[in-house]
Structure 1
Amino acid sequence: MGREASITRIIGPENYARLQHFKCLIVGAGGIGSELLKDCILMGFGEIHIVDLDTIDLSNLNRQFLFRQKDIKQPKSTTAVKAVQHFSNSKLIPYQGNVMDTKQFPLHWFSQFDIFLNGLDNLAARRYVNKISQFLKKPLIESGTSGFDGYIQPILPGITECFDCTKKETPKTFPVCTIRSTPSQPIHCIVWAKNFLFNQLFTSDQSPTAGDSDDNDWGTDDKEEISRIKQETNELHDLQQVVHRQDKAHITDILKKLFIKDIEKLLQLDNLWKSRAKPVPLSESLIESTRYDHDSTDLSAVWGLEKQINQFIRVTGKLMDRISQEQYNIEFDKDDQDTLIFVATAANIRSHIFGIPIKTVFDIKQIAGNIIPAIATTNAIVAGLSTLTSLRLLNLLPYDKASSGLDVNMAFTARASNLSKDRYLSNPKLAPPNCNCAVCSKVARGVIKITIQGLEKLTLSQFIEMLKKQYGYPSETSLIDTSDQRLLVDFDFEDLLNRTLSQAKLRDGSVILFSDEEGDEREMYKQPLELYLDVVEDNAAALEVELPSLQIALFKPQKQDEKEEQEMTKEKSPANEENKNGIVILDEEENRGEKDNTATKRPRSPDQTLQDTKKAKTSKSSEYAEDIIELD
């Protein structure tokens, strides 16, 4: 009764009764997500759904207080719900899955919620939930933390800027030659040890030429260097057989190959060392005199070269013992001490050879595991701000009603925003949508409700004619399946016109882009139209196809020279100079797979605009007899 009385005093008894009928979706059950779950329960949301793909790791336990040692390897979402259900009056529904899986989470599933709360740690999922929010016109609160810093960004579709209105940096990659031939930073040696060496020796699906495709960003046109890199990969495949045979007597051969022979071959490429310091190979006597001893537990100390070699030999032997038990396929895991020490020692020995400062194992764990520092108190503050702000977005604060969505505030920590040095939190007003945003401004967006029968009967030709008639598009148009950037129909590609939508591989969750390729006499074009296919039950639909009611604006495309001039003007403008220390957008805690761990700044810049459908390449698809066009 105490907490109910407190929230009732804040929002009033009528609004509290309303709140008990609201449904919220929490995406992510990690550092921020588990705090969001607790706060939403304490506030009194009637129904709370929480989605997370991940399982619990040992490294989560220092800040994700709903989990315990016994929960390691268990699903985060279901474990979090079990931990809080004893004090919850809300209906709690957990899901283990990828929120971007349209089969498990179709659009109509998202439509049941009144608000979305993000506690995510990767860019792709954030962008996806942002787009779902735009399709359904549902409010979203985006959030993130990094160490002591964090932010929240309320998003009201059509009223405020969306997550994609500001440019986001993508994870940094390095040319092959930098990683394999000319490292100059510790990160280069760590990437070499983790992504190349470890995979070549301990992962069974690595062929002799894996990773050495001609499509690689080699970072050089030197054919001799590229040939050497490919040969080095083939030779490492031979060493993989030593590992598979569990031949510990030849561990020193691996060391000699990596840190003597390969380095000597590099030194023969004189062009590489005209402006660089030459690497110094290890001596055979040093390798031969080193023998492994006990495990090293001090992972926060900087080890000397002899100890690095010692621990490399020891841990390689341990991995050899494991490889047959793990079906000759050991995956790198930052919480697996054997794989971590192998990567750390290999990277540090290579750093020593190239005159690069070596790192502690603890430092390398953060870099190789893409760990962004996460602090429990920051997560709690950001989650609290998110849940309090949700009351404003849902119009549940009678004393602080917003006259428009732009009256709602963001929140940033002082260092994340650079707005104020005198207080921990800054709360600027939200901005309107960026007119150059390809997600919320450059396209019209809607949801098509269609039955299975409609998918199987309606041809692409009929479907396009329906769109032209409904929205007034001219005769020359294009249709793209945006899920794989596959061109279905264009003015000079009509091979699929007689295919039905299902034969064209369109299904529930497909997002298509319909574009005007002709324009009118004034060179004005219809706004591109992005449509989500929501497949409904036959008995739930009045028609086989139900198009949304939309107003499609006209626009005049900006010429390339005008764009370039505008960009140059922006770069030189004093306002842009002031914005160089603008608000920082931060990602939350750990990144896995395709994840972004780069803090980026918030000055506006146009996002990537719609791809030109005329720049296409033809590729064969096993699903079709004819050629399919894929956008570059």
Structure 2
Amino acid sequence: MGSEEERIAIEKEKVLMVGAGGIGCELLKTLALTGFKHIHLIDMDTIEVSNLNRQFLFRKSHVGQSKAKVAREAVLKFRPGVDIVAHHGNVKNAEFDIDFFKQFSVVLNGLDNLEARRHVNRLCLAAGVPLVESGTTGYLGQVTVHINGKTECYECQPKPAPKSYPVCTITSTPSKLIHCIVWAKELALAKLFGDKSQANELDVRPSVLADAKADTNEVGNDADFFELRRGESTSQFAGRVFDRIFGYNIETALQNEDTWKARRRPDPLYLDKILPPEEFTAEENGNGEIENPTVSAMVTLGLKNPQKIWDVQENARVFLETIQLFFKRRSKDIGKLVFDKDDQLAVEFVTAAANLRAHSFGIPMQSLFEAKGMAGNIIHAIATTNACIAGLIVLEALKLLTKRTEQCRMTYCVEHPTRKMLLVPVEPAEPNPHCYVCSETPLVLEVNTVTATMRDVIEKVLKRKLGVDSPVIMQGSSLLYETGDDLEEDMAAHYASLLNKSLASYPTPITTGVVLTVEDYHQDFRCSLHVKHRETFDEEKEPDGMLITGDIASVVNTDDTLQPKIVADEDLSNKVENGHGDDDDDDDDMVMFTPETLAGAKRKLEEEESLPVEKRLKIEQLPAMS
């Protein structure tokens, strides 16, 4: 294939880009400069100040605007002849269905999370469109090619479920700062400012934000305690909450002597032991009339350096100030607040609350910069890595468009210590015959059918582990569950009434031997779950109380194929620590999918043409990426 044939292909064919973040900005620019004429771009995010250091198509004046639309306008300024269609929306939306994907010759992903990647993979399989995947973290990156029927699909290799910790660790015996951050996000922030009607699985343990054996007049009911009382100033409320969660609750936990026989005993913290009384006994009473989403406790307290680790007094001041500012400046958010890494005040609250709890339990505190990275699932990006990866995406797209699929490579940006190679190209693997996505082979669901509910299965297995967005569940010919805007009201109520029933108590009991068929019509996805009853689970290793086995496990640790174990920054954040990760609003370069199990893999690796004699070499050991 010559350059003329490439030119004709790229001017004629339509390509779809998903994601306009760090990689996406570089990719759109490179596509336009390479000569691509017909580009569609999907991104649901808006521009944040934190994007500007690497997403070079954006300027400060663009903050708050659509990434997709601004990226289009920026590129058209230096390539006005390119037909770029910008879609500001979630790629999971119904409008981006299989027929939409069929109009493109190739799909190029610059996404940031596992759920969206899975969704695009399934639509590409259904539409018969090749997919080029990508990801970066720091100096590391990768580009992978997926062709239906010829190479493995994106999900042919197992992606570990987001790491989660047992509830008792989070609420009772934290040993790492991430435990405290999860506690601050999912319990403290939610209790104070979130939707209190929503069930919180961290609430099932009585040791942290729950009542114990105490004078109910002093402590009050948990549901009422975290409400501003009549005549109470916001500073008084903040002080009352402080003493409750960092003082009284710790003392209550200490009453269980058995818990602390082999652990360091935590130290209760009370405000009057940390700050002068005048700092937390003011009588002002904010009415929340002034709304300002960018308000900051750091600004009002004169704390300028986000990389400085605050001492206990500073953390206490930030904790008190954030609560007061929410009531005085963000009152409209109270009752519906959800943590967002770009919400400065929420990040400040989580940092201070996590640090205070960490100090109580003898855990080193961290700066807001580090805490934000852990809480917001951030791995800090490097613009040059994004540019390299974007160039590699375009090279693979050119091969696909000119039918040179045999030349396609999975390329990993990682320095090989003995070969001195920065870019490691690897031949794509064949489709995995055990893949539950592209081969539809069955899975085994181990679950306690007496205690687990259908809601548990949907949330913890189908959505979190299998990436199903809109599940339809059948047992034989019986429809057990479905969702949709066109669903009749009485049927929707019927399915909802069964969600909290245990599997074994369904009209036709769901227990060992029962096969559940799961479908997602939007994704054109279908799989079978063979149910196996199991009484107990290891709370440390299996905190969900459910286990998917069979084909997912069977493809791990083979001797003769590349096994890229996909690892995001799960060790750092709520996406992993707390089992969440379905938001599409982080930067694509903040989640890195790396071939950690390259170590020990035996694989043919293509060398550059300039190398003497050998065109191929066997790699006996490649470095693990973290």
TM-score by length of 2: 0.68
For 2:423, give the aligned amino acid. Answer: L
Corresponding residue for residue 89 of structure 2: 97
Q: Are the structure 2 counterparts of residues 125 and 567 from structure 1 closer, same or farther at C-alpha, using a change threshold of 3 Å?
A: closer
Alpha-carbon separation, structure 2, partners of 1:187 and 1:116: 36
8 A Cα contact 1:180 1:229, kept in partner = no
CA deviation after TM superposition for structure 1 residue 20, in Å: 1.0
| Mapping of residues 136-215 of structure 1, within 5 Å | 136-203=127-194, 205-207=195-197, 210-212=199-201
| Mapping of residues 256-335 of structure 1, within 5 Å | 256-283=243-270, 285-289=272-276, 291=279, 294-326=301-333, 329-335=336-342
Identify the match of residue 115 of structure 2 among 118, 121, 124.
124
1:358 and 2:365 correspond: yes
| Mapping of residues 127-526 of structure 1, within 5 Å | 127-203=118-194, 205-207=195-197, 210-212=199-201, 234-235=221-222, 237-242=224-229, 246-283=233-270, 285-289=272-276, 291=279, 294-326=301-333, 329-395=336-402, 402=404, 405-414=405-414, 422-442=420-440, 484-488=470-474, 490=476, 493=478
| Greater mean alpha carbon deviation, residues 282-291 or residues 79-88 | 282-291
Q: Secondary structure at the match of 2:191?
A: helix
1:24 and 2:15 correspond: yes
For 1:322, give the aligned amino acid. Answer: R
Q: Secondary structure at the match of 1:426?
A: strand
Alpha-carbon separation, structure 1, partners of 2:108 and 2:10: 15
CA deviation after TM superposition for structure 1 residue 324, in Å: 2.8
For 2:69, give the aligned amino acid. Answer: T
For 1:424, give the aligned amino acid. Answer: L
CA deviation after TM superposition for structure 1 residue 530, in Å: 7.8
For 1:43, give the aligned amino acid. Answer: T
Alpha-carbon separation, structure 2, partners of 1:384 and 1:107: 27
Alpha-carbon separation, structure 2, partners of 1:304 and 1:41: 50
1:76 and 2:61 correspond: no
Alpha-carbon separation, structure 1, partners of 2:565 and 2:480: 47
Q: Are the structure 2 counterparts of residues 333 and 352 from structure 1 closer, same or farther at C-alpha, using a change threshold of 3 Å?
A: same
Alpha-carbon separation, structure 1, partners of 2:368 and 2:239: 22
For 1:439, give the aligned amino acid. Answer: V
For 1:434, give the aligned amino acid. Answer: N
Q: Secondary structure at the match of 2:317?
A: helix
Q: Secondary structure at the match of 1:20?
A: helix
Post-superposition Cα deviations, 1:446-480, rounded to whole Å, max 9, x if no partner, equal xxxxxxxxxxxxxxxxxxxxxxxxxxxxxxxxxxx
CA deviation after TM superposition for structure 1 residue 567, in Å: 11
For 1:127, give the aligned amino acid. Answer: R
CA deviation after TM superposition for structure 1 residue 335, in Å: 3.1
Alpha-carbon separation, structure 2, partners of 1:243 and 1:339: 25
Q: Are the structure 2 counterparts of residues 261 and 531 from structure 1 closer, same or farther at C-alpha, using a change threshold of 3 Å?
A: closer
For 2:304, give the aligned amino acid. Answer: T
Q: Are the structure 2 counterparts of residues 246 and 99 from structure 1 closer, same or farther at C-alpha, using a change threshold of 3 Å?
A: farther
Corresponding residue for residue 285 of structure 2: none
8 A Cα contact 1:21 1:47, kept in partner = yes
Q: Secondary structure at the match of 1:427?
A: strand
Alpha-carbon separation, structure 1, partners of 2:96 and 2:226: 45
Q: Secondary structure at the match of 1:163?
A: coil
Q: Which has the larger radius of gyration?
A: 1
For 2:582, give the aligned amino acid. Answer: E
CA deviation after TM superposition for structure 1 residue 226, in Å: 11
Post-superposition Cα deviations, 1:307-338, rounded to whole Å, max 9, x if no partner, equal 22222223332222113354654443333332
For 1:200, give the aligned amino acid. Answer: K
Post-superposition Cα deviations, 1:133-175, rounded to whole Å, max 9, x if no partner, equal 1112211100000111000001111001111011112222222
Alpha-carbon separation, structure 1, partners of 2:480 and 2:357: 54
Alpha-carbon separation, structure 2, partners of 1:362 and 1:73: 22
Q: Are the structure 2 counterparts of residues 424 and 322 from structure 1 closer, same or farther at C-alpha, using a change threshold of 3 Å?
A: same
CA deviation after TM superposition for structure 1 residue 365, in Å: 0.9
For 1:427, give the aligned amino acid. Answer: P
For 1:486, give the aligned amino acid. Answer: V
Alpha-carbon separation, structure 2, partners of 1:374 and 1:261: 41
Report percent identity of matched pairs.
Answer: 35
Q: Are the structure 2 counterparts of residues 564 and 242 from structure 1 closer, same or farther at C-alpha, using a change threshold of 3 Å?
A: closer
8 A Cα contact 1:28 1:50, kept in partner = yes
CA deviation after TM superposition for structure 1 residue 253, in Å: 1.7
8 A Cα contact 1:119 1:588, kept in partner = no
Alpha-carbon separation, structure 1, partners of 2:131 and 2:143: 10
8 A Cα contact 1:414 1:421, kept in partner = no
Alpha-carbon separation, structure 2, partners of 1:108 and 1:174: 40
For 2:259, give the aligned amino acid. Answer: L
1:13 and 2:36 correspond: no
Q: Are the structure 2 counterparts of residues 588 and 277 from structure 1 closer, same or farther at C-alpha, using a change threshold of 3 Å?
A: closer
Q: Are the structure 2 counterparts of residues 227 and 144 from structure 1 closer, same or farther at C-alpha, using a change threshold of 3 Å?
A: same
Alpha-carbon separation, structure 1, partners of 2:169 and 2:341: 24
Post-superposition Cα deviations, 1:255-299, rounded to whole Å, max 9, x if no partner, equal 211111111001012232122111011245324526388331122
Alpha-carbon separation, structure 2, partners of 1:252 and 1:94: 49
TM-score by length of 1: 0.68
For 1:189, give the aligned amino acid. Answer: C
Alpha-carbon separation, structure 1, partners of 2:357 and 2:20: 38
8 A Cα contact 2:106 2:129, kept in partner = yes
Q: Secondary structure at the match of 2:42?
A: strand
1:37 and 2:28 correspond: yes
CA deviation after TM superposition for structure 1 residue 251, in Å: 2.5
For 1:275, give the aligned amino acid. Answer: A
8 A Cα contact 2:97 2:123, kept in partner = no
8 A Cα contact 1:202 1:243, kept in partner = no
**Count, aligned residues:** 486
Alpha-carbon separation, structure 1, partners of 2:340 and 2:179: 19
CA deviation after TM superposition for structure 1 residue 601, in Å: 4.0
For 2:319, give the aligned amino acid. Answer: F
8 A Cα contact 2:569 2:592, kept in partner = no
Alpha-carbon separation, structure 2, partners of 1:345 and 1:529: 43
Shift >6 Å, 4+ stretches = 223-227, 229-233, 501-506, 528-531, 563-573, 588-592
Corresponding residue for residue 614 of structure 2: none
Q: Secondary structure at the match of 2:301?
A: coil
8 A Cα contact 2:176 2:363, kept in partner = yes
Alpha-carbon separation, structure 2, partners of 1:233 and 1:148: 52
For 2:258, give the aligned amino acid. Answer: N
Corresponding residue for residue 52 of structure 2: 61
8 A Cα contact 1:281 1:353, kept in partner = yes
Q: Secondary structure at the match of 2:373?
A: helix
CA deviation after TM superposition for structure 1 residue 375, in Å: 1.1
Corresponding residue for residue 594 of structure 1: 582
Alpha-carbon separation, structure 1, partners of 2:227 and 2:208: 23
Q: Are the structure 2 counterparts of residues 44 and 237 from structure 1 closer, same or farther at C-alpha, using a change threshold of 3 Å?
A: farther
CA deviation after TM superposition for structure 1 residue 244, in Å: 11
Q: Secondary structure at the match of 1:165?
A: coil
For 2:76, give the aligned amino acid. Answer: Q
For 2:61, give the aligned amino acid. Answer: K
CA deviation after TM superposition for structure 1 residue 117, in Å: 0.2
Alpha-carbon separation, structure 2, partners of 1:565 and 1:170: 15
